[in-house]
Chain A
């Protein structure tokens, strides 16, 4: 398996979270993007997944915003219903 594919495999597992809300958001995300995630998006996702679950949910549900331009696009995408 090449390195990028392995990276996406790892990311998929890291999307298993403690809060059902986030599990559902990430399930929807992967259904949409499939394996079409480039290195830049993967890096953004990795950073987002470092966050604590409650903070991440506040961000994804729109109750707070990020000032980080690298994360903005991804957060927008996760918010799309």
Chain B
């Protein structure tokens, strides 16, 4: 096969918020920059974000980055790196105002400033009372943000490779990253993108769960490529679940439904939240409600023939309330649950929403991996930002609206670091190893040559079921133990999967098979991380270890693909300029 070689100063994989923000930095500084993306940039999953982006602008009332930092550390259940969190919260105003200058149509106050709304977990004065910190563009914040960033890139002459899929990282003899191998979907042709710097901004891996709010594209490709290249993935056991995704579909039903009086019921019709949270009941926080639902299901009080979901009942509400105050909910229920919520309850389950873990990075966006006793050793030439990266600002649990902020801050800082690193090594491109594309080619050849291959669709389904059943919102020791062996069995099946259609042009079956190679790596990291960590912290809730254990587990998990090796890195408890936010029990 003919392999084209392309050379750039920097190649960015991913054109969501993080990738586009990095690209602006690079292109505007004059570096020759390529952005590779599986879908057109403005179809990246960032479009789905509605809630907003956090910044302590203080436009509606007094606010301070230090209060934002406190909320984020507390939200992270103290697993977040405090230097990275200080960095992000201090930079928030700057990146949000920059975005405004790029043309982002933020909602405004009468005085013309960016309007700010309240959001769960945003507090003033170190946890005292709620503060308005979320900046939004109606209910299309992510969409508006991505469009503003894309337009700015067009202006800066960023070169886009749209409908290209990156397959593998290229590493040199010293472990440095030299670029990626990628496939053009339209032709099936393979190219090498050689670059002085490679930035991953490939988004999340939420598709690993049977019930997921994520679009199909979120298959953890950056994690798969990183793991196959021998580098570790961090803290994947921390996956945020939303309590009410439509059963079987995953589409998110907003908290607002319970706010308007919607009630969760088990198979006996019981309003079970009264037992778990006598005061807040159905309006208790996301993790409390999700865990209560998981317990009802695990103890046999789930609904339906498989007793695997609960019901969200709105039928007692005035139909006018449903139609007027909850627009869209009725359409979602009819489309994806086949029920009209005016008459029948909606089947729901806790649904995977956001990956807190990812490729370990320094707050400068540089990827790190322990080497020669240094837990924070930099991997030369390699950078990551956004949901695929773990800076780690979200620690064990992300605060709403901090993810869009993460994209802007770390997208930008990864770009700045590349500019700095390229300037300090002005020499021409490093040599590629002779066989740079061989590994990817062998994966493609395996897929094309597979005899009697197992259906990609079925193996993917087995993967998602295994993760949902064994590594869901509430983790039980027996289920985790089985889960580890089952996910390894699924991994073997992934290695034998095959496709019938071997054509070249936009072969979705081949793309899905390649995505499955990535999803399985992310899934193993998640399952094995969850089985290893013997404590409950943030999103990791273990029935057998119900408490946080700072003596043994205040550290980041690192998972390596080879032999499923587990290692760890210390949490950075020391911020950049302020005092450490001391460990406390996380209560709201």
Binding site for B on A (CB under 8 A): 1, 5-6, 9-10, 12-13, 16-25, 27, 52-54, 61-63, 81
Contact = CB atoms under 8 A, between A and B. Distances in A.
22 contacts: A1-B503, A5-B503, A10-B506, A13-B511, A17-B43, A18-B42, A18-B44, A18-B47, A18-B217, A20-B48, A20-B212, A20-B215, A20-B249, A20-B250, A21-B251, A24-B335, A27-B216, A52-B42, A53-B43, A53-B143, A63-B327, A81-B335
Given A6-B506, A61-B328, A17 B338 contact: no
Contact of B331 (A5, A27, A53, A61): A61
Nearest to A26: B216
A12 B505 CA distance: 11
B334 interface: yes
A81 B327 CA distance: 19
Interface residues of B, number: 38
Contact of A9 (B214, B331, B332, B506): B506
Contacts of B328: 61, 63
Contact of A20 (B185, B251, B338): B251
B37 to A, nearest CB: 11
A54 B47 contact: yes
Contacts of B251: 20-21, 24
Contacts of B216: 16, 20, 23, 27
Nearest to A53: B47
A63 B326 CA distance: 13
A6 B508 CA distance: 11
Interface in B380-406: none
A13 B331 contact: no
Question: Which of A13, A27, A52, A62 has most B Cβ within 10 Å?
Answer: A13
Q: Is the interface of B mostly helix, strand, loop or mixed?
A: loop
Nearest to A79: B335
B332 A61 contact: yes
B47 A19 contact: yes
B213 interface: yes
Contact of B334 (A10, A24, A81): A81
A13 B47 contact: no
Contacts of A61: 328, 331-332, 335
B140 interface: yes
Closest 6 pairs between A and B when the two form their complex, measured CB to CB: A18-B47, A61-B331, A9-B506, A23-B216, A6-B505, A10-B506
B507 to A, nearest CB: 7
Contacts of A62: 331
A43 B476 CA distance: 51
Given A13-B185, A16-B216, 20 more contacts: A6-B505, A9-B506, A10-B505, A13-B163, A13-B506, A16-B39, A16-B217, A18-B39, A18-B45, A18-B47, A20-B213, A20-B251, A21-B336, A22-B215, A23-B216, A25-B335, A54-B47, A54-B143, A63-B331, A81-B338
B361 interface: no
Contacts of A19: 47-48, 215
Q: Is the interface of A mostly helix, strand, loop or mixed?
A: helix
B46 interface: yes
A13 B185 CA distance: 9
A53 B146 CA distance: 12
Contacts of A16: 38-39, 43, 215-217
Contacts of A6: 505-506
Given A19-B48, A23-B216, A61-B328, A9 B334 contact: no
Nearest to B503: A1
B411 to A, nearest CB: 18
A77 to B, nearest CB: 13
A60 B251 CA distance: 15
Contacts of A54: 47, 140, 143
A9 B335 contact: no
Nearest to A13: B506
Contacts of A1: 503-505
Nearest to B213: A20
